Chain A
Amino acid sequence: MTSTDTPEEFSERAGEHELEISTEDAADIGGFGVIVAAAYSTIREIDTTGFEPAEIFVPTPSQRESG
């Protein structure tokens, strides 16, 4: 999402992601959308080189029953 999306653009792009949002609802997001956009703008400024989340894929343990 960007803070420059119109409600129509926002609704259309949500649809591209198989998420339903009416243009009326998109218009209602209003000020909160600006807050969200500002949060990610702040996050993008952080140099996170070397900080990879530790969630490593772990195979589901075998559930094979004995016998």
Chain B
Amino acid sequence: MASINNSNLAYKSVGELAPLLESGELSPVDLTQSSLDRIAQLQSTLNAFLEVWEESALEDARVAEAEIAAGRYLGPLHGIPVGLKDLIDVAGAKTTGGSRVLANNMATFDATVVAKLRSAGAIFMGKLNLVEFALGFTGLNSHTGDVKNPWNNERITAGSSSGSAAAVTAGMLPVSLGSDTGGSIRMPAALCGIAGLKPTYGRVSRAGVLDLSWSMDHVGPMARTTQDCALMMNVLAGHDSRDPASSAQPVPDFTEDLNGGLNGLKIGVPTDYFFDDFVDPEIGASVHASIELMSANGAEVVELSMPWVDKGRAINLGVLLPEAVSVHEKMLAKNAEQYTPAVRSRIQAGFNIPAIDYIRAKRARLWFNQQMATSMKRIDVLITPSVPIQTPTIAECTPSNGNPGGGGGIPMFTGVFDVTGQPSHSIPCGYTEDGMPIGMMITGHPFDEKTVLRVGHAYEQLTDWQQRPPMDIPAPN
């Protein structure tokens, strides 16, 4: 098989790499080695990985190389390096959840998403760092070490899929898997300047993935581009009898409408909450400029009054916390001292929530979903900022002495769409004056990821935000 020596492989998307792999111009072994080299170059700086599987990755890459050479190309993920948030099971490997509690927790079976990626020929590069048990939004973890933002190493990545975001941003991997219960795919995607899709609840199986809050947990792709998220969804989506919440909805080709453009689409822009005074002016201005750009390129903009939408974050927390307590109750009773203090106190804050409050939150969730469905009757997607505040520093977000730490504004917008279970996608839409990425969130109707991805891809064709390399790390060797 022919091979190319290309130091720029690090920032190539799956959409760019796949044709090279299929044609034999690029060897999966060379691509995997390039990924390993980039990981070796940056891991000590960014702390994105908890485990790197060099030996098995190269072996899998050699198998992929032979299969492709023999004419058995499996599709766009064949030979592509992929990273996994360490709450996703891989048979024979540890799933720690970023916690000392599960330090020796060996998985017996592949999670369904892992089995699907394996069947598609993906190369697993290792396990990625995260907030302990995914219960937090800053990306910090005092036991596994904080993940650094490749745009500025003193700032947070956000989380909980902190390693998944940093690894893709830095060019260690073209794609990774994250999970999202209050925004844990979209918040780090926004603050690190990449694309992250939270699919519709039930669209992607949670089987073999550690629970945080079972009625709101979503698994989804994080990637350099919207197209790559669509390619990942073509492999990940589908009904799974191992997940009781898995949907039987038909699965489309998620790439089918990517080039449909913006003509004929109605874009909803909320007049409440998402652009209120608490939103950082630079962030609000970037998203408004993006909306104007989409309008100038064929989209119809519709202003929406949503005076009830500020209740979403409270409902998100009100459902999440009792479910998280239920998940952790027995482990916490046995191993309280092994939890990080920050996560232990978050779980314990839910210990005395009365049953009636949880029921109230669940009823409020139905009420909220009805309001959202009614509001979105006349539009295809909703456009909002992903995160309302600028990226805080790690020091500002580190908890101490009963102080939960800063960054509390980070999940105010993303959690709304974990409550509704709608597909919601964050892509970069600009940079702040000090060079940190700004995220724009595109949210669609349930099971209409295709339109969300169509809008994201169309916007990316009009801008070059996602093509810029991060500033606070060295170029690939």
Contact = CB atoms under 8 A, between A and B. Distances in A.
Nearest to A22: B336
A5 B363 CA distance: 26
A30 to B, nearest CB: 3
B266 interface: no
Contact of B363 (A17, A21, A52): A52
B352 A29 contact: no
A48 B370 CA distance: 11
A20 B341 contact: no
B119 to A, nearest CB: 29
Contact of A25 (B345, B363, B367, B401): B345
B373 interface: no
Nearest to B403: A31
B402 A40 contact: no
Nearest to B312: A42
Contacts of B256: none
Contacts of B408: 35
Contacts of B333: 19-20
B336 A51 contact: no
B48 to A, nearest CB: 27
A54 B360 CA distance: 14
A51 B367 CA distance: 6
A27 B317 contact: no
A44 B344 CA distance: 26
A30 B314 contact: no
Interface residues of B, number: 38
B251 to A, nearest CB: 24
A48 B366 contact: yes
Contacts of A44: 357, 360
A43 interface: yes
B364 A36 contact: no
Nearest to A13: B352
Interface in B345-396: 345-346, 348-353, 357, 359-367, 370
Given A1-B353, A19-B329, A48-B363, A32 B341 contact: no
Nearest to A44: B360
A10 to B, nearest CB: 7
A32 B352 contact: no
A26 B351 CA distance: 10
B352 A43 contact: no
A35 B318 CA distance: 10
A56 interface: no
B336 A53 contact: no
Contacts of B313: 39
B241 to A, nearest CB: 13
B363 A53 contact: yes
Interface of B: 311, 313-315, 317-318, 321, 325, 329, 332-333, 336, 341, 344-346, 348-353, 357, 359-367, 370, 401-404, 408
Q: Which 7 A-B pairs have the closest CB atoms?
A: A30-B402, A48-B363, A1-B352, A42-B314, A51-B366, A39-B314, A39-B317
